[in-house]
Amino acid sequence: MKVLVIGSGGREHALVWRLAQSPRVSRMWCAPGNAGIAQERLSNGTPVETAAIGAENLDGLLAFAKEKQIDFTVVGPDNPLALGIVNLFQSHGLRIWGPNRRAAQFEASKVFSQQFMEKHGIPTARAGTFDDAGRARAFAESLGGRCAVKADGLALGKGVLMCGNTAEAARAIDEILVNKAFGTAGAKIVIQEFLEGMEVSLHALCDGKTAKLFPGSQDHKRALDGDRGLNTGGMGTYSPVPFLTDATLAEAERKIIAPWLRGCAAEGIDFRGILYPGLMLTKEGPKVLEFNARFGDPETQVYLMRLDSDLLELLLASAGGNLGGVEIRWKKEASVCVIMASEGYPGSSTKGKEIRGLEDAAKLPGVKVFHAGTALKDGKVVTNGGRVLGVTALGADLKSAQAAAYAAVERIQFEGAWFRRDIGAKAL
Ligand code: AMP
Ligand code: GLY
């Protein structure tokens, strides 16, 4: 089977790495990919190839898939999904994994998601949706100013402004609705009450009728140790999450996943892909902060280290609508992923710095270094983005996985490299 993976981050490297292990894959491409992806090989020894086509160049990707006679395309990032790549490929008779444009709205529109949750009784923050700044300010005031102000559409992960008082909330509302800081993505906003608790990530693989919940994982969104500093795309993850007990997972399945599935059925939404709810574990139980409609990055890195099933078979079943009888098997071991970032991230960051020690790090048992922002230049691996590497380890328990991941981090150097030193600390 010829497989195409779309995207270029650490998530896509992890997807390529696992899909490449499937005995049914005969050739694989990744568009546009990165330096680490270009070094992967299939189980038959064939190298994985990269193709310089951007993830949002839908016409280019379609032409490529036709030219190479791709049997199955796997979409990593949110943007092509929101642009309708699944509809486009299907209309040309091509098999592709990921939610169609309508289903991708769970991530592409926070207003859609918030209204869906309220309509179908899914626990979430008290919230309002607005296109008028005056009414938005009045609602924020009714919450005492402690709230999250969120642009409706996709805003490169930057569309959520956390506010501690009414003045901050008014500024955030004006930024989005009046100054149009996020352009049309901010034509509407959702304002949520501020929820207190531990934040965790859920993933459920869906086939339009069923949803299979993964074990829990936790991301670290803030740049600095102790959850201080700016919000980032995610600085590290671990799985499982000891304080996300089986009882809480069962509660999330009953109160969130089940009504979500019923809501999709009632509204004729055919969701085939990963539903990734961001959850706050509050005193009143788990509540949904947001839905994503794709694999998390860097959640994927720890999940795929722990996955014991054939990823290709799972994604084919998800796309084909026959996940029902499928069991997803997980290793008992724990996994930790530490992101190494470039100087300046999450602001504009440096590029083109040579990365050393990758081979040394990869020699450590249980370690896999996933590339995110990397490129090949004159035969050397160099930095090419904010999040550079996801240094990931599998260990008997979280403590040993964490020790292995940080031992590998210590072997890697590039100018300006930085990382959080407390990934997994909340669980230990
Ligand atoms: P989102 O993209 O909606 O997940 O928001 C980005 C981050 O902002 C989340 O990962 C949370 O850490 C934080 N956040 C969002 N909404 C809330 C909320 N209602 N209460 C507290 N924190 C929030
Ligand atoms: N882990 C954050 C994200 O994928 O959005």
Radius of gyration of the chain (CA): 21
32 pLDDT more than 90: yes
Measured by CA distance, the residue closest to atom 1 of ligand 1 is 290
Return the axis-axis angle of helices 110-119 and 258-267, rounded to nearest 10°.
100
Task: Please give the structure tokens belonging to residue 330.
Answer: 């997980």
What pLDDT is attached to residue 24? Answer: 97
pLDDT category of residue 263 using cuts at 50, 70 and 90: very high
Mean pLDDT, range 264-293, rounded to an integer: 97
389 pLDDT more than 90: yes
Sequence-ordered alpha helix ranges (H) in 109-186: 110-119, 133-142, 166-173
Query: CA-to-CA distance for 109 and 154, rounded, in angstroms?
Result: 7
Torsion, Cα of 178, 181, 182, 185 (10° steps): 0
pLDDT tens-digit profile of 73-100?
Answer: 999 999 999 999 999 999 999 999 999 9
The letter for the amino acid at 163 is C
* Cβ contacts of 177-181, under 8 Å, gap ≥ 24: 177/130, 177/131, 177/132, 177/133, 177/136, 178/133, 181/151
Instruction: Please tell me if the CB atom of residue 107 comes closer than 6 angstroms to any atom of ligand 2.
Output: no
CB 276 within 8 A of CB 77: no
Mean pLDDT, range 366-384, rounded to an integer: 97
Mean pLDDT, range 39-45, rounded to an integer: 96
CB 199 within 8 A of CB 218: yes
What pLDDT is attached to residue 402? Answer: 98
What pLDDT is attached to residue 158? Answer: 82
What pLDDT is attached to residue 155? Answer: 87
- Residue among 160, 291, 299, 420 to mutate when testing ligand 2 (max atoms within 8 A of CB): 299
Measured by CA distance, the residue closest to atom 5 of ligand 2 is 296
pLDDT category of residue 157 using cuts at 50, 70 and 90: confident
Indicate which atom in ligand 2 lies nearest the CA of residue 294: 4
Please report the sign of the dihedral spanned by the C-alpha atoms of residue 397, residue 342, residue 38, residue 272. Answer: positive
Instruction: Please tell me if the CB atom of residue 299 comes closer than 6 angstroms to any atom of ligand 2.
Output: yes
Instruction: Please tell me if the CB atom of residue 152 comes closer than 6 angstroms to any atom of ligand 2.
Output: no
The proportion of the chain whose per-residue pLDDT surpasses 70, expressed as a percent, equals: 100
156 pLDDT more than 90: no
pLDDT tens-digit profile of 304-327?
Answer: 999 999 999 999 999 999 999 999
pLDDT category of residue 265 using cuts at 50, 70 and 90: very high
pLDDT tens-digit profile of 106-154?
Answer: 999 999 999 999 999 999 999 999 999 999 999 999 999 999 999 999 9
CB 145 within 8 A of CB 165: yes
Q: How many CB atoms lie within 10 A of CB 347?
A: 9
